[in-house]
Amino acid sequence: MKKEDLNKNRAVGQPEAVQQKSEIAEREEEILAFWNERDIFNKTLGKDAPNGDYVFYDGPPFATGLPHYGHILAGTIKDAIPRFWTMNGYRVPRKWGWDCHGLPLENLIEKKLGLATKRDIEDYGVKNFNEAAREAVLEYRDDWKRIIPRLGRFADMENDYRTMDSTYTESVWWVFSELNNKGLVYEGFKSMHLCPRCGTTLSNFEVNQGYKDIKDIAVTVKLRLLDEENTSLLVWTTTPWTLPGNFAAAVHKDVVYAKVKIGDEFVVLAKERLSQLGTEEYEIVEEFKGEKLVGRSYNPPFDFWQKKEVAGKENAWKIYHADYVEVGSEGTGAVHLAPAYGEEDMNLAKEHNIPIAHHVDESGHFMDFVTDFECRLVKPKDDEAAEITHLDADIEVVRALSTKGVLFKKENITHSYPHCWRCDTPLLNYATNSWFVRVTDIKDKLVEENNKVHWVPSHVGDNRFGKWLEGARDWAISRQRYWGAPLPIWRNKETKEYKVFGSLAELTEHSKKSNNAYFLMRHGEAKSNQGGFINSIEKGTNPLTEKGREQCKEVAEKLRAEKIDVIFHSGMERTRDTALLLAEALGIGQENVVLDERLVEIQTGEELEGKTWDEYEALYATYEEKFTKHIDGVENRFDVQKRVGEFLYEIDKKYQGKNILIVGHAASTFALRSASEGADMKRAIAVRKEGYLGNAEYIKLPFTPLPHNDFYQLDYHRPYIDDFEVYDEDGTKLERVKDVFDCWFESGSMPYGQHHYPFENSDNFKQLFPADFIAEGLDQTRGWFYSLIVLGTALFGRSPYKNVIVNGLVLAEDGRKMSKSLRNYPDPMELVDRVGADAVRYYLLSASIMRAEDLNFSEKEVTEQVRKNLGRLHNVLSMYEMFADGTQSNGESSNVLDRWIISRLNQLIGEATEGFKNYELDKATRPVTDFIDDLSVWYLRRSRDRLKGEDAADKKLALATLRFVLKTLAQVMAPSMPFYADYLWGRVKEDKDEESVHLSRWPEVVAVDPVVIGEMSLVREFVTLALEARTRAGVKVRQPLPKLTINIELEPEYASIVADEVNVKEVVGDASISERAILDTEITPELKMEGDARDFIRAVQEMRKTQGLEPSDRIALVVKTSEGGETILRTFESEIKRVTGADAVSFGEAGGEEIKAGEYSFIVEIKR
């Protein structure tokens, strides 16, 4: 980097509404441009890596919005660690990924399209819905590709992976198939949490993300015993909407219950819960254990199910013993059972063959036979505008209970209730079918593997995550939704037996085959080929050349062995002639020479007809644009793939066991090759790189129908996969289970999906698994961290990661959640334009948020980081550059100040290295601030006179040391503040050094001299004590004093620093004094004169600054003063000239400024 490249003038003439970028921001953008121009990131991947690969997994973000502080935080961590290990001799690939599936995106599309329910989606069309999701999923991708590098992050965003890619999905299928082969997959009917709005069940860790405290209604209900007149069992529930589904009640056989008379009726409840009666006006009639209640029958609170036939009805409306019934601080010691709406209730129902039946549908509405509440939502989401609350149905149920005379008591409570983590709808505990992974079978292994992982902070791994694994339950991985990777399960409708396919090859093995053989050929040479012009429209004549006809005759001989049955051509003259020549040579009748216009050349439009192909190429900036760009009258490559794909699939259905020759054009044969394998753009471009078919060249075209979208790209999404026909070995058509995967299962498959393992990269997978490092927020202990370790352990018997950094949550400065509507936080990129990305990065990396603690984000504190770190360091650099003379860096000076700063530098290297290696980023970064403070406030200030160079040898030592320190500091800063680190490196690096600090080697600790460190610490302590004594005595520092006495003996080199710093003539060691330091404040006439001279010098220096003089500018001083003033100046003339850069001091009339020094006045004029 050239200095002038990094000091361009700011842009001028910008509108006032546009925020002016700071100098820091502009400097960072220039460094970013340098990285791009010099391809620095790829050079870090290509440089020598003696230690091999360091594996990093990056959890993929959604690109449905712009990056926020949570992304910036995680991204900074994910950037700092790879930079550190890259500098330590490792190769660290950083493949970017995009999370594309799941409820978060579906919810956005529903809002965008105005769809409220699954029925709305079905009516709109699954295909239309999913295509809208596909279009929206990467809406902000270009913004991310601009912002992420601007934040200083190195990542490969060009060769990214996407969870919606067919290659990724095939790996997900493989993962699921492997789990199935290991006996870890099953279908179960369980009570799970259902989001009625989304119409799908959620996994237990998704449920844990959505708990909120809400106000609700609890009711105590009377269940009238059939065998005891006027007596009721009291049951308590916080979900009144489940009471129409009551099928049983439960008590604990060993708990003591009391029969109590209240007024004219009797009620039964646990004796310890008599307070639930809400009155003291009662009489205990009888006490007994719960076993006396077991087996007795009662009248249910509602009779809807009594009117219907249901399996197990003979066991309904009885009292059962249940171990899970507890007598706590709430309730009655008895519970009602609606077995379809609770796991414990369901298990008890299965044990005793109690009916398990729904009175609520999956959309959360009461079913029509529940006539009192028909079609009402049982637990709606609060909607103030629509005047709907989550209590509406419960209130109606309570009213009905009261009317029936079975309501004993109603209470208002506040409790924690699960809500959908994406749409915020209250969840229902709901029995349904789902597919599960048997996590409980590998739970012990999960705990064992987690104990091997290095967690930062450790308590997250030991407690939060470790305890979660100890209590792990089977994972429901199927979702009754649309936009996601489909479950690869097909079932026999009659026998219910199912097949799981783990690859595309396995799937297509079970599809119907035409047994056709396809041969693809480009026409023989035509006039357009000879002349190099475009002919995509049948206009004029474009026959085969004589050479082209000869080519056809030659290829006919080769084709004879293929026994062609049918020839297709595009109808354009050159393909028609080719087909007819071949048919004649091969003895194929005209009826089997078929024209299909879908095989025509790519349509380039009227304007380009007859022009050169170079003119066509000029329409596109990149090859990718040829697939996506829309130009009126011009087809793009996917348009061609669509029409030829339609042709190919159509004839595959029409013909059976035929050898078919297709004669096309350069583009149409290329598109046929792409369509035959379901190529997406990336794969199609790879096909194109293999080259077009030459004139009269033919190939055998492998083809098996695939699940595909409208452009005949392999597509596993619904409805394409649903429509794909699959058959059992005996020819029975199988039906696909319509569910999609939990998006966490997909993200947990990332180590395999990003590499299309095991279909690609199987040979080097050991180098790609497990990850050395991952990082995400605390919430991912219930998300990505969990899904990764479950799948990795299930597949390979080990954790897929070794080291984890867990960060906390970034909150607004007031401690509340950051909110766009409240505008309680600065826009991230506007802040970067003000203070730079480095300051934001360092602020986050050095904060306690690195320890999974929340951070109240403060722009003021970020700005303070700029001042304390970048501002001070930039001043040090400026001072260095002011005196730099090309002296080479060297860290071996004998000067005590140099030895001290080198030792401090080695301390910094040691602390940073230890912090990074232990993944404690706060410990790795915080020492930088202290070091810069020492460098700026102590070392540079003490070395300023040395740099000015009166002692040439000492100047060399100071310059060599300072250059060495700045270079090394740039390396230590590189992971946390990559922009300024590279800027600094560029200013001080030497010819032998790498072009970027990020290509350099991490510095090693040479030696820390504890004596120098300790002695300098004492020096600074005594300086502080002496300055405090000066303040107490009211003596300014510029006034020399005779002596400072300290209670230890300092070596002369250290004592001289103290003397100079506190402006005393001598520093004396005296162990007999009782205090640490005693300052002699007696001012002799000689010392007074010296003090006045120093005041004079200081004033002249201020005049130099005011007049804009550079330190190198030489001056002459003309002074008008009294005899006494002249005496002072003459006495200290050499010192005055040295410090002020004056070549001469003369006395006489002066037209300058007045200076006061002690009791003297001076009129001073500066002449250049």
d(CA 1119, CA 565): 113
Q: Are 601 and 665 a contacting pair, CB within 8 Å?
A: yes
Instruction: Tell me which residue of 86, 89, 92 sits closest to 50, measured CA to CA.
Output: 89
Catalytic residue, from 3, 493, 820, 1105: name it: 820
Q: How many CB atoms lie within 10 A of CB 464?
A: 17
Helix (H, G, I), strand (E, B) or coil at 90: coil
Catalytic site residue 817?
yes
820 is in an annotated binding site: yes
Catalytic residue, from 744, 900, 938, 985: name it: 744
Residue with token string 């490196």: 985
DSSP string covering 687-749, please?
HHHT-PPPTT-EEEE------B-TT--B--STTHHHHS-EE-TTSPEEEE---EE-HHHHHHT
Catalytic residue, from 467, 513, 817, 1167: name it: 817
Measure Cα distances from 655 to 9, 520, 673 in Å: 71, 16, 19
Backbone angles phi, psi at 57, to 5 degrees: -105, 130
Instruction: Tell me which residue of 503, 510, 506, 505 sits closest to 173, measured CA to CA.
Output: 503
- Residue 890 corresponds to which tokens in the numbers above? 């060297």
Catalytic residue, from 276, 641, 780, 907: name it: 780
Up-side HSE of residue 1084: CA atoms within 13 Å toward CB?
8
Catalytic site residue 35?
no
Instruction: Tell me which residue of 390, 450, 395 sits closest to 424, measured CA to CA.
Output: 390
Measure Cα distances from 606 to 365, 397, 533, 633, 1009 in Å: 59, 72, 13, 8, 81
Q: Peptide bond preceding 719: is omega within 30 degrees of 0, i.e. cis?
A: yes
d(CA 217, CA 1028): 68
Give Cα 624 distance to the centre of its chain. 27
Max distance between CA atoms of the chain, in angstroms, equals 128
Catalytic site residue 475?
no
What is the rounded end-to-end Cα distance, in angstroms, of the chain? 35
**Beta partners for 774?**
804
Q: Are 276 and 220 a contacting pair, CB within 8 Å?
A: yes
Position 254, amino acid: D
Instruction: Tell me which residue of 1051, 1055, 1129, 1048 sits closest to 1089, measured CA to CA.
Output: 1129
Catalytic site residue 1052?
no
- Angle, CA of 738, 739 and 741, to the nearest 5°: 145
Instruction: Tell me which residue of 759, 763, 659, 678 sits closest to 720, measured CA to CA.
Output: 678
Catalytic residue, from 60, 975, 978, 1040: name it: 60
d(CA 1027, CA 1081): 12
Q: How many CB atoms lie within 10 A of CB 412?
A: 9
Q: Are 905 and 912 a contacting pair, CB within 8 Å?
A: no
Catalytic residue, from 35, 67, 78, 99: name it: 99
Catalytic site residue 144?
no
Give Cα 1116 distance to the centre of its chain. 63
**978, 979, 981, 987 alpha-carbon torsion, rounded to 10°:** 150
Any residues with CB less than 8 A from the CB of 340 and at least 6 apart, and which?
A: 191, 245, 346, 356, 357, 358, 359, 430, 431
**Beta partners for 1119?**
1147, 1164
**249, 255, 261, 266 alpha-carbon torsion, rounded to 10°:** 20
Burial of 894 (0-12, 13-18, 19+ CB in 10 A): exposed
Catalytic site residue 20?
no
Catalytic site residue 306?
no
- Angle, CA of 755, 757 and 762, to the nearest 5°: 105
Q: How many CB atoms lie within 10 A of CB 439?
A: 19
**Catalytic residue annotation:** 60, 99, 744, 780, 784, 817, 820
Q: What are the binding residues?
A: 820
Q: Residues annotated as binding site for ATP?
A: 820
